[in-house]
Amino acid sequence: DAGVTQSPTHLIKTRGQHVTLRCSPISGHKSVSWYQQVLGQGPQFIFQYYEKEERGRGNFPDRFSARQFPNYSSELNVNALLLGDSALYLCASSQDRSSPDTQYFGPGTRLTVL
Amino acid sequence: QKEVEQNSGPLSVPEGAIASLNCTYSDRGSQSFFWYRQYSGKSPELIMFIYSNGDKEDGRFTAQLNKASQYVSLLIRDSQPSDSATYLCAASSGGSYIPTFGRGTSLIVHP
């Protein structure tokens, strides 16, 4: 079975632009979570979606939004990009929202904002 | 503000030694604790989780939890160069898994 996939792998944007990151969970997984990992720091939780509904939101501004589709894939959108948004964006999928032992991370999208 | 604190390291140990990684957390409501391994340029991988006070062993890894002291540790026995990575500690409270991660400790195992 394929693991969690994310696209694109790398992205370069300029300040003020908008970006959409995509994630496909492992087959059978219904929960998707998004994290931001700045270099030298641990991942910071952004959103959790389960059964197409938002179930958790981290301490991020409203410029960050996400959604989950009927096939359980997900998009993370970031508007009005700032230099500080440069980071590795990780998607993780799990069978349900309370099973960390079934959570697997994708390879991430490296976003650089110039 | 929920915080998970880790020494960033690097922690350097010789091959075959025991590596001891430590983590403290601020939220007394935290119920579940996790250790992830992250190789450079890769995504995190869950290696241990623990819910109850005491020790939990899995192969060469032992997680230790002391809720009274708000302290979690990970011991790696017979360390190998392939264990060289950043180890992330995370804590979660409540019914859904929404973790707070520490910044990670870099471990270097030298031959």
Q: Mind listing the pLDDT tens digit for each residue in A55-92?
A: 999 999 999 999 999 999 999 999 999 999 999 999 99
B99 upstream amide cis, omega within 30 of 0: no
What's the CA gap between A26 and B79, in Å, rounded? 32
In this structure, what token pair is assigned to residue A20?
């959409």
Which of B37, B97, B101 to mutate: most A Cβ within 10 Å? B97
Q: What is the dihedral of CA A75, A7, A99, B34, to 10 degrees?
A: -120
Q: Is A95 helix (H, G, I), strand (E, B) or coil?
A: coil
Q: Which residue of B has its CA nearest to A96?
A: B96
Q: What pLDDT does residue A100 have?
A: 73
Q: Which residue of A has its CA nearest to B44?
A: A105
Indicate the burial class of B102 (C-beta count within 10 angstroms; 0-12, 13-18, 19 or more): buried
Q: What pLDDT does residue B50 have?
A: 93
Between the alpha carbon of residue B32 and those of residues A30, A39, B14, B25, the distances in Å are: 21, 25, 31, 11
For chain A positions 9-48, those within 8 Å of chain B (CB to CB) are 33, 40-45, 48
Q: What pLDDT does residue A101 have?
A: 74
pLDDT confidence band for B103 (50 / 70 / 90)? very high
CB contact set of B98 (below 8 Å; sequence gap of 6+): A33, A45, A48, A56, A58, B92
Q: Is A104 helix (H, G, I), strand (E, B) or coil?
A: strand
Q: What pLDDT does residue A2 have?
A: 79
Q: Do B49 and A56 touch (CB under 8 A)?
A: no
Contact (CB, 8 A) for A91 and A34: yes
Q: What pLDDT does residue A1 have?
A: 60
Q: How many C-alpha atoms does A90 have within 13 Å on its Cβ side?
A: 22
B14-73 pLDDT, tens digit each: 999 999 999 999 999 898 999 999 999 999 999 999 988 899 999 999 999 999 999 999
B22 contacts chain A (CB < 8 A): no
Chain position carrying tokens 């007394």: B28
A20-44 pLDDT, tens digit each: 999 999 999 999 999 999 999 999 9
Longest Cα separation, chain B: 43
A7 contacts chain B (CB < 8 A): no
Q: How many CB atoms lie within 10 A of CB A75?
A: 16
Chain A positions in Cβ-Cβ contact with residue B42 (cut-off 8 Å): 107
